[in-house]
Amino acid sequence: MIICHDSISGKQTGHEDSFVGGKPRLPKGVHPPIFSVTGSRMTFFFQLKIPSFHKSYGKTISMFCATDYINDQMHIPKLPNPLKGASLTEDFFNDYQSFFKIYVFDDRVDLNLYHQYEDVLAFHELKFQEEVREGQRIFGEISEAPNWILDDETPKEYNGRADAIDFLFQVKEEYYFEKTHNAPRQKVIDYSRNDNGYMDSFSDEYTLFTSNELYFFLAGGGDGIFPYVVPQS
């Protein structure tokens, strides 16, 4: 199943369940995460409610990432070694979400528009369709198994349990997030310098994890559910 949206940005009503940009929908008492290095709010990228045809129905994924600072360790999430057939553990996730934050909400929790958040990325409601139509952009795919563009890098198990790994969806390679008119440009590495400095991107679009094909999984269960992302390009 394709995940797509209209090419032209729309107006957010606050009732959409799956969308790119705009303002996040969060439970009462939950706030956009703060990036410890800069003390500023992370940028909200997208929110996706797992649809009823998927085995992980009942979960909503909300994705944030720091965009006002960058260094050589902040391009992609930490990966296990070996990556292929990885055996994940709870310890692996202790420092996993250092420069990004992925919230996982249960559908029993009320989500409300976080009005205090200033939009950074243009709003597009996401739709689940069998094929992309004229005037639409493909955001990703959702199914019960990844559509790998390279080798199969599905993790083997979590704490010794193969049934504790669930694949959710993937975001397409080279998907670029349109920024709002007043938003600052994303910070990128300034490779003309030798001090790991950064500068404003030349582009008016944002990228997430260097625009790799991104495969989103959940590991664990019960009280310990951990998002896990595999990038490929």
Mean pLDDT of 177-185: 96
Tracing tokens 């008119």 back to the chain, one arrives at 181
SS3 210: helix
Whole-number pLDDT of residue 72 = 87
The stretch 186-198 carries a mean pLDDT of 82
Looking at residue 14, its pLDDT comes to 94
In the block, tokens 């979400």 appear at: 97
Residue 195 has pLDDT above 70, yes or no: no
Beta bridge partners of 214: 171, 231
The single-letter DSSP state of residue 171 is E
Instruction: Say yes or no to pLDDT of 223 above 70.
Output: no
Q: Which domain holds residue 158?
A: 2-232
In a 13 Å sphere around the CA of 79, the CA atoms on its Cβ side amount to 19
Q: Above 90 in pLDDT, residue 29?
A: yes
CA dist 48 to 139, 145, 170, 191, 196, Å?
11, 17, 11, 34, 34
Predicted local confidence at residue 221, as pLDDT: 76
CB 127 within 8 A of CB 54: no
**Does residue 133 carry a pLDDT above 90?**
yes
Q: For residue 16, how far is the Cα from the chain centroid?
A: 17
Helix (H, G, I), strand (E, B) or coil at 93: helix
- Which amino acid appears at position 184 of this protein? P
Spatial CB neighbours of 66, under 8 Å, sequence gap ≥ 6: 35, 37, 38, 40, 42, 43, 74, 99, 100
Least confident of 3-12, 72-81, 197-206, 221-230: 221-230
| pTM of the model as a whole | 0.96
Give the residue from 130, 132, 103 showing the smallest Cα distance to 31: 103
Mean pLDDT, rounded, for 30-59: 95
Lowest mean pLDDT among 23-27, 28-32, 196-200, 209-213: 196-200
Closest CA to 213 of 228, 232, 190: 232
Contact between 149 and 35 (Cβ < 8 Å): no
Q: The tokens of 112 are what?
A: 């409300």
Beta-strand relationship, 87-88 and 157-158: parallel
Q: How large a percentage of the chain has pLDDT more than 90? A: 90
Percentage, residues of the chain above pLDDT 70:
98
> Could you identify the residue written with the tokens 């500068």?
199
Domain count across the chain: 1
Give the pLDDT confidence score for residue 193 in this predicted structure. Answer: 73
Residue 157: C-alpha distances to residues 90, 102, 162 (Å): 11, 20, 4
- Can you read off the two tokens belonging to residue 182? 């007043």
Q: Which of 10-19, 43-52, 81-90, 219-228 has the lowest mean pLDDT?
A: 219-228
